[in-house]
A and B are shown apart, each in its own frame.
Chain A
Amino acid sequence: MMPEAILVLTHTDEAGSSLTKSSLETVTAGKTLADRLETPLVIGILATDSNAAAKSLPGLNARILGVSGEAFEKPQYAADVAACEALCNAAQATVILAPQSSRMARVAAGLAHRISGSIDTHITSIQGDEAIEVTRWLYRQRIEATITRSVRPWILLIEGGVCAAYEGHEGEGELEQVAVELPELRTNVIGTRAPAHSGQTIRPDAKMLFVAGAGWTKKQADGQVHAGEAGELILSFLQKTSASLGSSKSLVDQGGDGQPVLPFLSHMNQVGQTGATPRHPKGLATCCHGEEPHVVGWRFITERRAISLDPNCGWARGKADVVYIADAFKVIAKVNELLALKA
């Protein structure tokens, strides 16, 4: 069997000076794999100034390659895929790891095509004694599969949170600059935009995910809809706990159907079958009606609790740790009160 050579592709954050957390996590994955296979490790950096970004990797016993230039300040396909191709050609690696970030996910498949390799994404673990075996989920987190491939180079996009971020100490590796031949760039990135309503409610690094279901905007015990009150309770909870806000599809879709809505929710808050599958240590679901798609959105939540009026809620049994059969309006109002007192 041909010996493997590992390349980890990384990139900088929005500020452009240091590597992203997901990049550093992938460095850890690459280092672990290289140590296990007793094979050299190469790091590739995509940045405006890759020399400065390389300072995020002190004490790493690896060859460090970088591409630098204004073209790599903002993520865009044509420049990024050309840069990654140049790094891959310089490293001549058989296994290429990269973070499952929006920047790398945009170009990784195109890169695989250009270097005549194969690709697997959303990798949640790398195992195997002799061959490299990876696990990933299929059918929106419903089926877990272990895969291996004979084709090289093999690109693997590693999910966030799978490894700890690399933290080195002393020593700074020497960076080799790699030249990139850029095509004509027809796309100009003009910036990022946050949601217009009530600030940012999606917080990937939050300790808790708060999921709001469609029940918040349904008729309550008094026969009336209290969407305004629901919105205030939820926003107050988010503000006091710094939780991230998720939503069921049915609640987000209500806007398009002319039903009462929570104005700060968008499709980007959606978790589940057609939404995100976020990773948080804790999750609290409120007013969600139980269906398998909701479970899908909770696959990577460690501790799960729910507040529901339905004692037979299908998703809760066997999926949540605790289910409170109660009115979420009353409970969350009291929670907010207690959190305010103890703040």
Chain B
Amino acid sequence: MSLHIVVCAGIVPDPLQTLEPIAGPNGPALKNEMMLPAVLDPWAASALYEAATLVSKFPGSRLWLVSLGPKAKLQQVMMTIAQKVTFELVAVDSASNGFADASATASALASGIAAIPDLDRTKLLLFGGWESASRGAGVTLQTVGELLGITDQFAGVDQIDMREDGSFEVLERVEGGKHQASVCAGAPAVLGWATGNLPEPHNNPQIGMANMRTVMPALQRAKQAALTNDGQQYLSASLPSQQRQTRVVRDLAPDAIAQELVEWIRTQ
């Protein structure tokens, strides 16, 4: 059994950066957006690491990373991510950010995936984050799945166990901190990953050098995609203004603090 896994992963500003919305010519944008350091979207990165682990278990399997974003930012992120796991990059050049419409992003991604030579759709597992850290809508991957005609879809995935007959068991997050367990007959399927169970792989320069032979050409031939807004109009985009008057309590004994906390806990 071999798998063809395609991971859709966008890029987002480093979570430690301060973000400020501004009015741009086509709607809201982030202040100094092109200057902000970017990272691979965290949940999509989990999907990539899980995919790489699966591919390593099944000889003959292949892994593609399909990423949409401004070419220069993609190149910056690939310098890091290409050192972690082996993949073939499919880059789509687009001025995308969290304010872009998800369905337009999905169309561009689906076109990119459909154009991958040698992709066997009967073996296809489409991976990605269940939501992005930018738009955070949980819409893109599902829509890509629909555009590719895949009707077995899973969201908030933390685990996949492949079976010898090609079927697999999958755990999805549901309410109350539980997982829903399902068995799917096999590929093709869409899996929107949550965090999974794998740690972030350490950088391996050898993997990086091998990946870079294909990453740079992929970036050079990245097709441009103009994103439409699907009738979406932003009336405002702002930072939350609420600032609390924090009471900092120093020099109070633990017993007194505990007393105060218990009273607070008990008030309705």
Q: Which residues of chain A have a CB within 8 Å of any CB of chain B?
A: 74-78, 81, 101-103, 105-110, 112-114, 118-122, 133, 137-140, 142-151, 183, 186-195, 200-204, 208, 241, 253, 256-257, 267-270, 273-274, 282, 284, 291-293, 299, 303-305, 307, 311, 316-327, 330-335, 337-339, 342
Cβ-defined contact, A112 with B139, below 8 A: yes
Indicate with 1 or 0, residue by residue over B126-140, a CB within 8 angstroms of chain A CB atoms.
000000011111111
Return 17 A-B CB contacts under 8 Å, by A number.
Answer: A77-B153, A110-B145, A119-B137, A120-B137, A133-B235, A138-B136, A139-B98, A140-B15, A144-B236, A149-B233, A151-B231, A193-B181, A194-B178, A256-B198, A267-B196, A269-B177, A274-B195
Cβ-defined contact, A204 with B152, below 8 A: no
Chain B: CB-nearest residue to A328:
B254
Chain A: CB-nearest residue to B258:
A334
Chain A: CB-nearest residue to B184:
A187
Q: Which residues of chain B have a CB within 8 Å of any CB of chain A?
A: 12-13, 15-16, 18-19, 21, 28, 42-43, 98-99, 101-103, 133-140, 142-143, 145-147, 151-156, 158, 169, 171-186, 194-200, 230-240, 243-252, 254-255, 257-259, 261-262, 264-266
Cα separation A151 to B231 with both chains bound (whole Å): 5
- For A110, A183, A333, A339, the residue with the greatest tally of chain B CB atoms inside 10 Å of its CB is A110
Given A325-B248, A335-B258, the answer on whether A292 and B176 have CB atoms closer than 8 Å is no
Cβ-defined contact, A144 with B247, below 8 A: no
Cβ-defined contact, A187 with B185, below 8 A: yes
Choice from A78, A284, A327 contacting B151 with Cβ under 8 Å: A78
Chain A neighbourhood of B135, CB < 8 A: 138
Choice from A145, A201, A257, A303 contacting B237 with Cβ under 8 Å: A145
B152 shortest CB reach to chain A, Å: 5
A214 shortest CB reach to chain B, Å: 15
Chain A neighbourhood of B250, CB < 8 A: 311, 325
Chain A: CB-nearest residue to B17:
A292
Cα separation A186 to B236 with both chains bound (whole Å): 43
A42 shortest CB reach to chain B, Å: 23
Cα separation A122 to B138 with both chains bound (whole Å): 9
Cβ-defined contact, B257 with A139, below 8 A: no
Main secondary structure of the interface of B (DSSP, over half): mixed
A114 shortest CB reach to chain B, Å: 7
Cβ-defined contact, B21 with A106, below 8 A: no
Cβ-defined contact, A143 with B151, below 8 A: no
Chain A neighbourhood of B154, CB < 8 A: 77, 106
Chain A: CB-nearest residue to B185:
A186
A156 shortest CB reach to chain B, Å: 11
Choice from B136, B194, B265 contacting A140 with Cβ under 8 Å: B136
Chain A: CB-nearest residue to B235:
A146
Cβ-defined contact, B181 with A148, below 8 A: no
Known contacts A147-B235, A319-B244; 12 additional CB pairs below 8 A are: A106-B142, A106-B153, A107-B142, A109-B137, A121-B138, A140-B136, A204-B177, A267-B197, A320-B244, A322-B246, A322-B247, A330-B254
A100 shortest CB reach to chain B, Å: 9
Chain B neighbourhood of A110, CB < 8 A: 142-143, 145-146, 153
Chain A neighbourhood of B264, CB < 8 A: 282, 303, 305
Choice from B138, B169, B198, B265 contacting A282 with Cβ under 8 Å: B265
Cβ-defined contact, A78 with B136, below 8 A: no
